[in-house]
Chains A and B, each alone.
Chain A
């Protein structure tokens, strides 16, 4: 697992929009996988206060994020003055994807491409209807 990109987990506090069971299972799988990761209580709040951590997160190379809709996450970073890089960022959506799938995607080695989720309209690579710079590698 040494070639893992960095992982960021958002706990989405203050709202019930991400199912509790999904958050819990993703976190349980992350904490038992023997890997390092970053976790934040609420990316929305971090963005609202322009927290410098968002800048640090985008500066450190490849990043996999477990949060919510990729379009929301992308513009939350932008709003915080820390735009996500054009490539090397993959966002998994805990509002709609199963926990096991998210964890597997977060924990796969960098050399393994993301599994196709093309059949789902809300999947990680469908960030916007425009060509997406944040789509995971095909």
Chain B
């Protein structure tokens, strides 16, 4: 599990009243270097909506949570530290007159360590994002995922609850969603990356669900099976192996279609563990669907009640029978 630093550093590159402006190139280099050090930035200029006439108005610059560091070529001495009157956030000042970009960034880094601790461990933010304009709350993603990425909200809706449990670069769950409602913004291709969904996409994704249902709805276990078999090259070909051949050919294609990275296959748990987690995930999905059914039934008995269509239960090909 990845933990995030609670107090991330927000840097204001201040060029308002009481400071000398940077030249364009220096400003661009500085902002880019700070972004690459994982700082969020507000660039404050003489003009524009986030502009502030005085250094006492930093709380209006838009984005302050945690610690704010104000960088600038200040014309007069700044206090080392101040507090935002509204939010109570700590504000630090750092004069960068005469500093090269690299030196300024180094000083920011050192202040950041002091103020926020060591930066959070590297994590490529790879996780599913649900398009609720498309989602029908069928819970297939929850049934499918073995890693507790999905959960159910208090009002019975599917939600992404453990983003960092998601397997980097694996978009498999988006492939089982019949509505093409699961996005991975950093995925290479559409519509999973958020590109417009067309009717051909919906048809294609629907076919993939059918394939997963054909395979018993247990794609992970089947993929694991395949991976294990690939390793035992010298094992005798038993009858059931032969019987599996056709299924495996189908799986190879499926794995390609689903774009599951080999590292993810290699990190899959044992078959018993997969079965256990899979049963758990299916049970959670079924419980959520049952709860939605009950809510729908109760609402139907009330004269005026309307149930949001997204909460209406749908038959799920992956739900246990």
| A interface residues, Cβ below 8 angstroms from B | 1-2, 4-6, 11-15, 17, 24, 27-28, 30-32, 34-42, 44-49, 51-53, 56-57, 60-61, 68-73, 75-76, 78-79, 95, 121-122, 126, 128-130
Are the CB atoms of A17 and B48 closer together than 8 Å? no
Question: Which A-chain residue is minimally distant from B43 (CB atoms)?
Answer: A37
Residues from chain B with Cβ under 8 Å of A57 in the complex? 62-63
Tell me the complex Cα distance, A36–B53, Å.
13
Are the CB atoms of B41 and A75 closer together than 8 Å? no
Tell me the complex Cα distance, A130–B185, Å.
19
User: Is B193's beta carbon under 8 Å from chain A?
Assistant: yes
Number of interface residues of B (CB under 8 A): 56
Are the CB atoms of A56 and B63 closer together than 8 Å? yes
Tell me the complex Cα distance, A14–B184, Å.
14
Residues from chain B with Cβ under 8 Å of A60 in the complex? 62
Are the CB atoms of A38 and B41 closer together than 8 Å? yes
Are the CB atoms of A38 and B62 closer together than 8 Å? yes
Given contacts A38-B50, A68-B185, contact A75 B45 (CB under 8 A): no
Residues from chain A with Cβ under 8 Å of B183 in the complex? 71-72, 75
Tell me the complex Cα distance, A75–B122, Å.
23
Are the CB atoms of A70 and B46 closer together than 8 Å? no
Contact with A along B133-162 (1 / 0, CB 8 A): 110000000000000000000000000100
Are the CB atoms of B28 and A52 closer together than 8 Å? no
Cross-chain contact of B24 among A13, A32, A47 (Cβ < 8 A): A32
B5 nearest CB across to chain A (Å) = 9
Are the CB atoms of B125 and A75 closer together than 8 Å? no
| B interface residues, Cβ below 8 angstroms from A | 4, 8, 10, 24, 27-28, 31-32, 35-36, 38-51, 61-65, 122-127, 129-134, 160, 163-164, 183, 185-188, 190, 193-198
Residues from chain A with Cβ under 8 Å of B186 in the complex? 12, 14-15, 17, 44
Are the CB atoms of A17 and B63 closer together than 8 Å? no
Cross-chain contact of B64 among A27, A42, A56, A68 (Cβ < 8 A): A56
Residues from chain A with Cβ under 8 Å of B185 in the complex? 17, 44, 68-69, 72-73, 76
19 contacts between A and B (CB under 8 A): A1-B47, A14-B124, A14-B186, A17-B186, A24-B32, A34-B46, A36-B51, A38-B42, A39-B35, A40-B40, A44-B126, A49-B4, A51-B8, A53-B10, A56-B65, A72-B129, A72-B193, A79-B160, A129-B196
Residues from chain B with Cβ under 8 Å of A79 in the complex? 129-130, 160
Query: What 7 A-B pairs come out closest when comparing CB atoms?
Result: A72-B194, A69-B194, A36-B50, A36-B48, A72-B185, A32-B24, A44-B125
Tell me the complex Cα distance, A1–B185, Å.
32
Dominant secondary structure at the B interface: loop
Given contacts A31-B31, A48-B163, contact A39 B40 (CB under 8 A): yes
A133 nearest CB across to chain B (Å) = 10
Are the CB atoms of B48 and A2 closer together than 8 Å? yes
Cross-chain contact of A36 among B42, B131, B197 (Cβ < 8 A): B42
Are the CB atoms of B65 and A51 closer together than 8 Å? yes
Are the CB atoms of A75 and B10 closer together than 8 Å? no
Residues from chain B with Cβ under 8 Å of A12 in the complex? 186
Tell me the complex Cα distance, A76–B185, Å.
9
Interface centre among A13, A36, A70 (most CB of B within 10 A): A36
Are the CB atoms of B48 and A35 closer together than 8 Å? yes
Residues from chain A with Cβ under 8 Å of B41 in the complex? 38-40
Are the CB atoms of A11 and B196 closer together than 8 Å? no
Are the CB atoms of B124 and A15 closer together than 8 Å? yes
Cross-chain contact of B63 among A11, A38, A49 (Cβ < 8 A): A38
Residues from chain B with Cβ under 8 Å of A17 in the complex? 185-188, 193
Residues from chain A with Cβ under 8 Å of B51 in the complex? 36
Question: Which A-chain residue is minimally distant from B188 (CB atoms)?
Answer: A17
Tell me the complex Cα distance, A38–B35, Å.
11
Question: Which A-chain residue is minimally distant from B186 (CB atoms)?
Answer: A15
Tell me the complex Cα distance, A41–B5, Å.
15
Interface centre among A44, A46, A47, A73 (most CB of B within 10 A): A44
